[in-house]
Amino acid sequence: MTWRQLRGEDLPADLPRPRLVAFAQSFHWMDRPRVAAALRGMLAPGGAVVHLGGTTHEGITTDDVLPRPQPPRQAISALIQDFLGTERRAGQGHLPAGTAGDEDEVFREAGFRGPQRLEVPGRVVERSVEQIVSSVYSLSSSAPHLFGERLDAFDSRLRQLLTGAGDDARFSEQMGPIGLSVWF
């Protein structure tokens, strides 16, 4: 097996015709019409594109009794806003309206049929302080570089917030479902 690293906009490159292409939490960052058209032209006969959608960095609100306390997500959001302001950021810019959500239209315009939709149900997960911190930094809107020279101060306050809120610094979250849209 050979691994290649390239941007979606560089497709089809000299890659063999795939039978399956999957996107998880990434398609919205690409030149979507360009990438979808390239994929349509390069898929092997009978091939498919799977677009996964779901919130995986944090759980959903629930009134269910969980084994441990839920992470203080509202307090975390407030802390992020204290450091970065109220306008959502991403990369080096701002996303006041968030990212586009019209993937179905993009795939249809590229000539795909579908989608066939599948759903993987959520489950309860246990997370440590480190895992919660990682989930915060995994987002484009709170990536470490956005804090600049204030990163250490933010990190310290975030960890202090979590350490004071958890049961032995462990949390439980009910994860939401993950949707799969399969395009042919």
Q: Is residue 117 part of a domain?
A: yes
Query: Is the pLDDT at 93 greater than 90, yes or no?
Result: no
Query: Is the pLDDT at 164 greater than 80, yes or no?
Result: yes
Q: Is residue 1 part of a domain?
A: no
Q: Is residue 70 part of a domain?
A: yes
Number of structural domains the chain divides into? 1
Q: Is residue 6 part of a domain?
A: no
Query: Is the pLDDT at 6 greater than 70, yes or no?
Result: yes
Distances (CA, A) of 165 to 55, 70, 123, 170: 22, 9, 22, 9
Q: Is residue 129 part of a domain?
A: yes
Query: Is the pLDDT at 166 greater than 70, yes or no?
Result: no
In the Cβ-directed half-sphere of 71, how many Cα atoms lie within 13 Å? 28
CATH number of the domain enclosing 122: 3.40.50.150
Q: Is residue 7 part of a domain?
A: no
User: What percent of the chain has pLDDT above 70?
Assistant: 93
Dump pLDDT digits (tens) for 16-66.
999 999 998 789 888 999 999 999 999 999 999 999 988 888 999 899 999
Q: Is residue 3 part of a domain?
A: no
Rg of the chain (C-alpha set) = 19
Q: Is residue 10 part of a domain?
A: no
Question: 133 lies in which domain range?
Answer: 16-55+64-183
